[in-house]
Structure 1
Amino acid sequence: MALFISSLNTGSNGNCFYIGNEEEAILVDAGLSCKETEIRMQRLALSMRKVKAIFISHEHSDHIRGLPVLAKKYQLPVYITQSTLLSGRQQIQPNLLNSFVAYSPIQVGNLQITAFPKLHDAAEPHSFTISCAGVKVGVFTDIGNNCENVIHNFKECHAAFLEANYDEEMLDKGRYPYFLKNRIRGGHGHLSNKQALDLFIAHKPSYMSHLFLSHLSKDNNCPNLVHDLFQQHANGTEIIVASRLQETAVYYISA
């Protein structure tokens, strides 16, 4: 059994990732409106009927904006920590709320979802890996640096959504105020192209078939630049730049 995955959108304007098998699926984050999520899934011929749960990484608006409406309309269980729920101030039906604990797997049909803590300027940020029948996909965005949790989980993935938020020179010379630049590169913000590439080169498993470069900055990165940077070191891994404007294709990930 393989996994079908897509980035419905990724960036400061909204993040939502689809991971599923032939029977069921989950969404990681719900940063698009319910309507836009439905539109993009319909274009990909993905059915909301297969979506069985939503997992929330942290409370920033680009990850939870569409959560209350989406969860209520489809009566989807929402897996979210108490601190993230309180900080996000989202009104979720109590019967839909579920918590999770780092490194305690949650079973959704044949999908096994495991959360792990990461460094980001949020209340209780986590990333996730999703496994099914020996295939593992990771969602690694909104990460301040390559901590041991990130490295450990990245090394086990057949495919990954990996943040490559900014080019260091573009950020340094760009229009952002000094405090914002420091927030982005300060260890609890976002991964630079170089940091993401270092992780990829040093810890990519030989069997990683796909890498989705994710959460690119609109102002401080360039899709072509980062694609070319990673392509030089791909060694058989397909490099996809996930857009902040539209969904990617659906990719089939197998062992």
Structure 2
Amino acid sequence: MRVCLIASGSKGNAVYLQSGESRILVDAGFAARELSRRLELIGVEAQSLDAVFVSHEHGDHCRGLGPLARRYQLPVYMNPETFQALPSLGRVADLHHFDTGSAFTCRDLHVETIPLTHDAARPVAYVVETREGRIGIATDLGIATRLVRERLKGCRVLILEANHDETMLRDGPYPWPLKHRIRGNHGHLSNGDCADLLGDLLWDGLETVFLAHMSETNNRAELALECVQRVLEKQNLCRPQIVVGRQSESSICVSL
């Protein structure tokens, strides 16, 4: 299994997963041409993709979805509520709907969907199970519910939202209504929230944690890492590799 953050942040998000039989993109938050370029930088041709999984309808996750799917005739997986919230998507020839909270199979992958509280029509997190283990992808969380904490256990790789530092957000340039939205139950996880969630998900089989969807205005990588390291130091477990996702470039690729 190979995992890579093609892009991560408020301007665009995409995750690349590769198993023995499958090449999957989770979200397509850049123009199709830019997504193709970024995939090429990690040695992947966009036309070799087997499917796109969609977490929710916001532009930083779906901007290039329609053009990419049509250009390369890609199957697209999303729930009906997300589809209804994408009136500008255009025609997608191979569309697969799932019920949020259910599981589905795509090629050699078993895919679990987890409902989230983010302010979208019906946002989901994914747990993708392969022969090599489980990969959890949870950004734009709103809050880390008990169900989220339970369903993300046992993953070898986690992609978790560390959107903002609470002090930087409070003192930063955003208008108050936007700050309130980000901090609320339908917004984004802070560094402290992310670290708290990670503390519940640590086990000796967890190898890599990607810190994702980091705000360029309200966060810094060292602040997120500091929060996570404090949690890791309290645990008598093997410490996973921590990778900070970037908006401007792909992260390192992790192989299982």
TM-score, normalisation: structure 1: 0.94
Q: 1:245 corresponds to which letter in structure 2?
A: S
Contact 1:71–1:92 (Cα < 8 Å) also in 2: no
2-structure distance, mates of 1:89, 1:111 = 29
Return the letter of the residue paired with 1:22.
Answer: G
Superposed CA offset, 1:195-246 (max 9, x none): 1101111332221100000000111100122123323444420000000111
**In 2, are the aligned partners of 1:23 and 1:50 still within 8 Å (CA)?**
no
Three-state SS of the structure 2 residue aligned to 1:246 is: coil
Letter of the 1:241 counterpart: V
Which residue in the other structure is 1:240 paired with?
A: 243
Residue 21 (structure 1) aligned with residue 24 (structure 2):
no
| Contact 2:39 2:46 (8 Å CA) reproduced | yes
Is 1:185 aligned to 2:188, yes or no?
Answer: no
Name the counterpart of 1:7: 5
Cα-to-partner distance string for 1:111-147 (whole Å, 9 max, x where unaligned): 1211110110011111111111150001110011110
Deviation at 1:37, TM superposition (A): 1.1
Structure 2: gaps of 5 or more residues: 233-237
Distance 1:222 1:125 in 2: 26
Worse-superposed segment, 21-30 or 183-192: 21-30
What whole-Å deviation, never above 9, does each CA across 1:161-209 have from its counterpart, x for those lacking one? 1000000111111111111111001111000000110111133222110
* C-alpha contact 2:30 2:63 (8 A) present in aligned 1: yes
Q: TM-score, normalised by structure 2?
A: 0.93
- Aligned to 1:137, the other structure's residue is in SS state strand
**Secondary structure at the residue paired with 1:113?**
strand
Distance, in Å, in 1 between the alignment partners of 2:200 and 2:102 is 27
Map of 1:139 onto structure 2: 137
Number of residue pairs the alignment of both structures matches: 251
Alpha-carbon offset, residue 82 of structure 1? 1.9
**Hey, what's the Cα distance between the residues in 2 that align with 1:177 and 1:127?**
28
SS of the equivalent of 2:125 reads: strand
Match of 1:69 in 2: 67
Hey, what does 2:173 align to over in structure 1? Answer: 175
- Pairwise CA RMSD: 1.4
Residue 217 of structure 1 corresponds to 215
Q: Which amino acid aligns with 2:19?
A: N
CA distance in 1, matches of 2:217, 2:89: 32
Tell me the amino acid that sits aligned with residue 64 of structure 1: C
Work out the CA distance in 2 between the residues paired with 1:94 and 1:4: 27
